Structure 1
Amino acid sequence: MLTATRGAALYVGALLGPGLLLLPALATQIAGPASVLAWAALMVMSAPIAATFAALAVRHPVSGGVATYVDEAFGRVAGAVTGLWFLTSILIGSPTVALMGAYYVADLTGTGPTAAAAMGLVIYASVLAANTFGLRVSSGVQLALSAVLVAVIAVAVGAALPDHVTQGWTPFAPHGWWAVGTAAGGLVWLVIGWEAMAQMAGDFRDPARDVPRAVAWGFGIVTLLYVGVAVAAVVVPADPGSTVPLADLVGVGFGSVGRDATALLALLLTTGGMNVYIGSGAKLAAALAAEGALPAWFAGGAARSVPRRPLAVLACTGVAMYVPLVLGVVGPAEIVLATSACFVAVYVLTLAAARKMLTGGLRVCATLALVLFCGLGPFLRWWLLLPVGVVVVAVPLLRRRWSRPDGVEGAVTGGAPEQVAP
């Protein structure tokens, strides 16, 4: 059974992941030193979000993920759309994560961009192969990797800040104030995971007492870490054009040894995070197919620990996304924002469901979180066309499919994947 301390550790592990390898530096590139305001805004948003999901975990624990809440509140079509949004984020985000890890390996080995591109494909293929044979990274291993990452970043930030804390703050908003909102939209990757505790509430000894404590402690740890990273990304900027900004930061505090260790950790963290997300995404696709939200073909072999048919589709879509990334047709920033648009859509529907399910002060908390998350929409601009496109295509098909007498009955229970922030 989980204690509050162990729960807080799991919470931190659910929020931290490969996104830390790139996103802090990306936010600084988008908004300059004013990116710290984007971090601050996300932390302000995270407080009511964390409180909302803690309340849901205690009062409405589920095992199927956020789609289950949406299904219960708004019906099976909305629940299916939520699952499809999450699946879309995995389809487009995984190749970017693979390339992130590959850049760090290339930095470790002293090779160039061609070798990095090849290594990214190797990482992606290795994760797919592992899932094909049912080899999964355990939550304990992923938690340990996240803990090491937290320790390394915390010490590196502590070592680097004293000598640089007054540097790099001018001009404060070189790209204008609107860029702050755009940076916040990209950083959404780093706050996805607050809902994970709802799926583990039944594992606590005393959910009513321990879940709020776990959420509070996890929020405090993550906030302190993100504040340090946000400031460090400004005052210790990565080299222009660097593809390994976290290694640049750690190298300031630990030299070449720290830089090499960061590259190795980046590879392990990337592989572990992708392993969890791709395996869970395949299971989600099979569950959606079993409910009629996807073609029945995807449900074939669903009894396996990781269904192989969805994995085959993930392999094809991954390569299709990876090639333009490597060729520079699209950049990591564009993929990050597109993925963030899907995440924002998922959270908006989930928080709207929470508002409907909770009462009193907790409903006010859910409403505040919903309003704040909706506020990110204008900054994501046309990237929101991606989740809108999913709705336009999927909703008529789902309604037509489920209105037939032979339509599949039952709620969407596949839910969202096990949470390891991308």
Structure 2
Amino acid sequence: MNQLKKEITLIGGIGQLSTTLLGTGLFMIPAIAAGIAGNATLWAWLILFIAVVPIALTFAALGKRYPNAGGTSYFVRKAFNEKMERSVAWLFLSIIPVGIPAGVALTGSFGQQLLPEPFSSPLLAQTLTIFLLTAVNLIGSKSSSRIQVMIALGICTLVSFLWVFGEVGTEDTVMPPLSVDALPSIASALAVMFWCFVGIEAFAHMGEEFKNPQRDFPISIVLGCLFAGFIYWACTVVILKFHAYGTAEMDTASIPWLSEKLIGNKASLLISLLGYLACFASMNLYMQSLSRMTWSLAKQNREDSKLTKISSRGVPANATLTLAIVLVLSSVAGELLHLDLEHLVKLANGVFILIYLFAMLAAYRLLTGINKCLAAVALTITAIVFICLQWAALYSVAVFLLLRLVPKRHTALGKNLNH
């Protein structure tokens, strides 16, 4: 057997994408954005939702028409050529040494609080997280998506409790007056908030594993984005009501602080658990998508490669295990070298947005009618965001150009990995 198993349902797809988009952002972005724009953050969320819609719909249209484990690289191949596809595929894999270890470290920071004192170390928490990620990935997409649906429900329950115990009313959701003076702060907040919707490009790699990709994949993207967006907005409303923003401490502790204030001390363990699960869910989809990309690249180079082996559960097992080993080594290196995780995340974000940009370019070339118009709007929005990245954008461009200049080496590398 050398094909991925088609077992992701509509509910599972919505759960996978929404928890990926929420991830670590739920515990940081609403408070950070509120600290930048204050009550005007409610307008920023509305603007962001409008901006994300064409991007989400464009990915949905691409995934419906071209469901493939290669994701964006496959879209680029259909629109341009194999050389461009290979470069974009390796660009996506270049996230592994910078972005994924940072995400694992953030997940491990919540995990540390759940471990007994003698075992509460960053490296042990990260290693345990990678082990759990690998185990969840190896059991198959169907089981993995079910787990993420449960996590999504847990996050929704937490936000509901904050609204109930915080006695949030309609007066708290009224949009503040919009003035010209507020526009610069709204723009600054948007630059931070856009990262809440980084994750759609990873979800594109799962299209081939849907039971009914033409119907369920696009619906999963749209509803997953709407669910995540609503949760972010709902958190922001509570944060603004109780002024849980404005300090460096509140930037990362607003949700735990609100939970303790409104629900009580017993909520601290629940918050640590939900924080861990939310971050875990985000890393889970990225590990799934990266293993599928590795499998897809290996399959192109040599059909009988060890990396193309599919388990009885329809999972690229060897590709997943290889990725797990790389993540452990990266985590150890990060701890030994004391790497700045904030800068690693910014570098990874530059790569993500460049991948979005290539996806929108491919969509503009491949799609027709209203979908082509949506792709044009999405391309414009993505280009503006990419320009705003500044030095992080230069890094991603440099990586891509390097991959374009030495395609033969990368092909050789891919073949060597297959032996």
The Cα shift of 1:212 comes to 5.5
CA contact (8 A) 2:22 2:278 kept: no
Q: 1:275 to 1:215 in 2, by over 3 A?
A: closer
The correspondence of residues 134-213 of structure 1 with structure 2, limited to 5 A, is 135=138, 138-160=144-166, 162=168, 165=172, 180-194=186-200, 196=203, 199-200=206-207, 203=210, 207-208=214-215, 213=219
TM-score scaled by length of structure 2: 0.75
1:408–1:213: structure 2 CA closer, same or farther, 3 Å change rule? closer
Instruction: Kindly state the Cα deviation for residue 366 of structure 1 after the two structures are TM-superposed.
Output: 0.9
Match of 2:372 among 353, 363, 372: 363
Q: How many residues align?
A: 389
Cα separation, 2, equivalents of 1:36 and 1:75: 42
Residues 1:85 and 2:85 aligned together: no
Instruction: Tell me what 1:305 maps to.
Output: 317
- What residue ranges of structure 1 are gaps of 5+ in the alignment? 410-422
Partner of 1:388: 397
Matched, 1:53 2:59: yes
Partner SS state of residue 162, structure 1? coil
Question: Counterparts of 1:110 and 1:37 in 2: how far apart (Å)?
Answer: 43
1:22-421 equivalent positions in 2, closer than 5 A: 22-29=28-35, 34-105=40-111, 119-130=121-132, 135=138, 138-160=144-166, 162=168, 165=172, 180-194=186-200, 196=203, 199-200=206-207, 203=210, 207-208=214-215, 213-235=219-241, 236-238=243-245, 240-242=248-250, 243-278=252-287, 280-282=289-291, 284-285=293-294, 287-288=296-297, 303=309, 305-307=317-319, 308-322=321-335, 330=340, 332=342, 334-398=343-407
Structure 1 position 372, deviation (Å):
0.8
Deviations 1:235-292 (A, max 9, x none): 4425642543332233333222223201112223334443443464355346546657
Kindly indicate whether the alpha-carbon contact (under 8 Å) linking 1:74 and 1:353 is maintained by their aligned counterparts in 2. Answer: yes
Are 1:38 and 1:183, in contact at CA under 8 Å, matched by a contact in 2? yes
Letter in 1 for 2:261: V
Moved more, 11-20 or 262-271: 11-20
| Cα displacement (A) at 1:309 | 4.4
Q: Secondary structure at the match of 1:245?
A: helix
Q: Which amino acid aligns with 2:271?
A: T
Tell me: CA distance 1:165–1:139, structure 2 relative to 1, closer, same or farther (3 Å). Answer: same
The percentage of aligned residue pairs carrying the same residue is: 22
Q: Which runs of 5+ in 2 are unaligned?
A: 1-6, 310-315
The CA deviation string for residues 188-225 of structure 1, in whole angstroms up to 9 with x for no partner, is 332134453684377355945x5555555444433322
TM-score (norm 1): 0.75
Distance 1:367-1:161 versus aligned 2 partners, 3 A rule: farther
Q: Write the distance in 2 (CA, Å) between the matches of 1:323 and 1:366.
A: 44
Partner of 2:3: none
Q: What is the letter of the counterpart of residue 92 of structure 2? A: F
CA drift of 1:381 comes to: 1.1
* Pair 1:55–1:280, CA change in 2 (3 A): closer
Partner AA of 1:313 in structure 2: V
8 Å contact from structure 2 (residues 357, 379) kept in 1: yes
| SS, match of residue 138 in structure 1 | helix
User: What amino acid is aligned across from residue 130 of structure 2 in structure 1?
Assistant: L
State the one-letter code of the partner of 2:89. G
- 2:67 match: secondary structure: coil
Partner of 2:4: none
Task: Give, in whole Å, the separation in 2 of the partners of 1:219 and 1:274.
Answer: 17
d(CA) in 1 for partners of 2:373 and 2:63? 17
Q: 1:212 to 1:346 in 2, by over 3 A?
A: closer
CA RMSD, aligned part only? Answer: 4.1
Sort the Cα spacing of 1:265 and 1:223 in 2 relative to 1 into closer, same or farther, 3 A. closer
| Partner-residue secondary structure (3-state), 1:241 | helix
Q: Distance in 2 between matches of 1:59 and 1:320?
A: 41
Quick one: distance in 2 between partners of 1:226 and 1:275?
Answer: 20
Q: State the distance in 2 between where 1:290 and 1:182 align.
A: 43
